Structure 1
Amino acid sequence: MRVALVTGAGRGIGRAIARRLSAEGCRVALVARNREQLDETAAECAGQVHVIPADVTDADAAERVHGEVEQRWGPVEILVANAGAGHSARLERTTDADWQRMLDLNLTAPFRFVRRSVPSMRAAGWGRIVVMASTAARLGEPYIAAYTASKHGVLGLVRAAAAELARTGVTVNAVCPGYVDTPMTEQTIATIVATTGRSAAEARETLARKQPIGRLIQPDEVAEAVWFCVRSGAVTGQAIQVDGGAEQ
């Protein structure tokens, strides 16, 4: 029974990933800031779970979380660094604080969790690391400079780590969703409504049309891509697109 750790497990994509890993027989440590949301995720999981409230941007979070998992079940074998957030603003309205927040959450926190996972995975000769990136890790769009920079950075981290660990039995991949039907996308819709005067339905349709399939991606579809990365020992250093065909 593999030991998995999922950050950002309280809702949305993270919750779907936790459900999928649990259904596949993994023990799953659930990490997020909101204890109530974590408990809701735990109730939807099929097997053994352990709830660990934590802010992944804290400098000691990776050490504390991994230590708690190791004490309970042993070393983390599957890491899914999913916690993240977005930010939208014109370049000249993006503050230093906005910029730093995106880097701290979307790039530095995954780096710390990956770094903490590697020694035990390397020693065991097996490990799976999946980092949640975005289509913004590969493309640039207006008004999301800080978010895009952080996601480009995390894809670079994934590729470098995969190259370094290629002969160890440890794989490292990024999953790059388009617009997913999650609370984070609801925030994007609210921003569009506030800045353009469109209705929420119109804003949602605009995002849905960005995918050639004409709809938002479902969280379970992203979780399926994560599970593919876990199952495969030959796929590493990749950016797995889950974008409805947006990038060919």
Structure 2
Amino acid sequence: MAPDTSLSGKHALVTGGGTGIGLAIAQALAARGAQVTITGRRQEVLDEVAGNGLFGAAMDVRDESAIETVVAQAVEARGPIQICVPNAGIAEGRAVHKTDMAFWRNMMATNLDGAFLTIRACLPSMRQTHWGRVIAVSSIAGLRGLPGAAAYAASKHGLIGLIRSLSEDYMGQPYTFNALCPGYVDTPIVDRNQEAIAERTGMSSDEARQVMINANRHKRLLEVDEVAAAALWLTGPGSQSINGQCIQISGGQTV
């Protein structure tokens, strides 16, 4: 008999769920039967993709009170959050000697504080159930240094530390905490970085894009569905012993 992969009756929350990796994960979860609350800063972006199991709610992950309010409303509307995907993040490179505190704090507030606040808000309802999955979207940069992007790498290293610690806190309980660590994924973030690298280095736009392609071991950009498939696996049968892990999705060994 095939294992039951249905997520019917489960409620997921995906931050940064209106575009890119977050949207792909949200759609994959909804396709398996979950009701998925997707959040992002712009309601109009969420409205464009809502439906078919996706429910949009504008929320800035840098805003603690907004997170508490939106999560409470989502729980009231769709029940306990059993799948929490802190995905919202920014990726921007800047040399340390050009990094001011405003840039540093915004990076940490979005990529690390936002994940912490989201997980903290989701855990109370999750702990009222018999099952839960926290799947954070980190990066290969969370496992190794990234030239020209110290703030970004530090934020993603911190996210992995958070996930590993939570897996220890809840060891032996029916909740798992894991991080996905993709390389460069074909999303609007890569498009923006392509132009930023070209402007910073004097490369052509195509040359800048090739730098990111070459950073993936298999010499191509990842597709968002590849990351979503890993997230879906962590919610499926047989995933209960995958805990505290950093799953590299980068075309080969990188760390």
Instruction: List per-residue Cα deviations over 1:22-80 (Å, max 9, x = no partner).
Output: 1111001010011222122225xxx3221101111102122112111111111111010
- Distance in 2 between residues matched to 1:76 and 1:122, nearest whole Å: 9
- Distance in 2 between residues matched to 1:190 and 1:222, nearest whole Å: 24
Partner of 1:200: 205
Q: Which amino acid aligns with 2:212?
A: L
Partner of 2:16: 8
Partner of 2:190: 185
- Distance in 1 between residues matched to 2:71 and 2:80, nearest whole Å: 8
Partner of 2:214: 209
Deviation at 1:246, TM superposition (A): 4.5
Alignment of 1:217-228 (within 5 A): 217-228=222-233
CA contact (8 A) 2:60 2:67 kept: no
Alignment RMSD: 1.2
Secondary structure at the aligned position of 2:104 is classed as helix
Calculate the TM-score normalised by the size of structure 2. Answer: 0.93
- Distance in 2 between residues matched to 1:104 and 1:244, nearest whole Å: 30
Does 2:154 correspond to 1:146? no
Q: Which runs of 5+ in 2 are unaligned?
A: 1-8
- Distance in 2 between residues matched to 1:61 and 1:130, nearest whole Å: 21
Does 2:254 correspond to 1:243? no
Does 2:171 correspond to 1:173? no
- Distance in 1 between residues matched to 2:204 and 2:183, nearest whole Å: 21
Partner of 1:58: 63
Alignment of 1:69-218 (within 5 A): 69-218=74-223
- Distance in 2 between residues matched to 1:213 and 1:233, nearest whole Å: 30
CA contact (8 A) 2:43 2:58 kept: yes
Q: 1:19 aligns with which of 20, 27, 32?
A: 27
- Distance in 1 between residues matched to 2:98 and 2:49, nearest whole Å: 36
Q: 1:39 aligns with which of 34, 47, 54?
A: 47
- Distance in 1 between residues matched to 2:162 and 2:66, nearest whole Å: 19
- Distance in 2 between residues matched to 1:121 and 1:52, nearest whole Å: 19
Calculate the TM-score normalised by the size of structure 1. Answer: 0.95
- Distance in 2 between residues matched to 1:149 and 1:116, nearest whole Å: 23
CA contact (8 A) 2:27 2:54 kept: no
CA contact (8 A) 1:70 1:76 kept: yes
Deviation at 1:85, TM superposition (A): 0.3
CA contact (8 A) 2:80 2:128 kept: no
CA contact (8 A) 1:80 1:131 kept: yes
Deviation at 1:167, TM superposition (A): 1.7
- Distance in 1 between residues matched to 2:125 and 2:78, nearest whole Å: 13
CA contact (8 A) 2:75 2:125 kept: no
- Distance in 2 between residues matched to 1:155 and 1:39, nearest whole Å: 31
Secondary structure at the aligned position of 1:60 is classed as helix
